[in-house]
Structure 1
Amino acid sequence: MRKGEQITGTAREKLAREMKEQYEGGRSIRAIAEAYGRSYGFVHRVLTETDVSLRGRGGEHPQRRLGTAAPSGR
């Protein structure tokens, strides 16, 4: 597959399955895009076409309890 080449039909279905498997295995959209020489938007679109449940941005964040102030660093 050449960079920027339009991918349709069975080739796109195969690519979508591969990308879905990698994403569900924990790989990021950016890492998949880089590995395939595609844009972030292309990979995102392909994943949404396969009904993948996309993860939130930035990974996990610690939960802050309501009513507690953040440490001041003093």
Structure 2
Amino acid sequence: MDKGKRITGEAREKIAAQIKTAYENGASIRAIAQDKKRSYGFVHRILTEADVTLRGRGGATRSKPGSVTS
């Protein structure tokens, strides 16, 4: 697949199914984008079009300065 080439129709449906499967199997959006040689935005858009529930960002969360967490 050529980088930057517009994907429509059957080809878009095929890549959407591959992206959805990869994401549901635990791959990150960034990893999928790198593997498919597409942008993060493209992969994110395909997932939202496919009604996939996106995972949270994860990692450490920030608290407000001066706040105490229990």
Under a length normalisation based on structure 1, what TM-score does the superposition of the two structures give?
A: 0.79
Cα distance in 2 for partners of 1:4, 1:37 equals 9
Task: Give aligned-pair identity as a percent.
Answer: 62
Asked which structure has the greater CA Rg, the reply is 1
- What is the RMSD computed on CA atoms of the aligned residues? 1.8
Instruction: Report what 1:39 is aligned to.
Output: 39
Cα distance in 2 for partners of 1:60, 1:24 equals 23
Aligned positions, number: 64
Identify unmatched segments of 5+ residues in structure 1: 69-74
Q: 52-61 or 4-13, which moves further after superposition?
A: 52-61
| Deviation beyond 2 Å, 4+ runs, structure 1 | 58-61
1:27-62 deviation per Cα after TM superposition (whole angstroms, max 9, x unaligned): 00000000011000000000000000000002587x
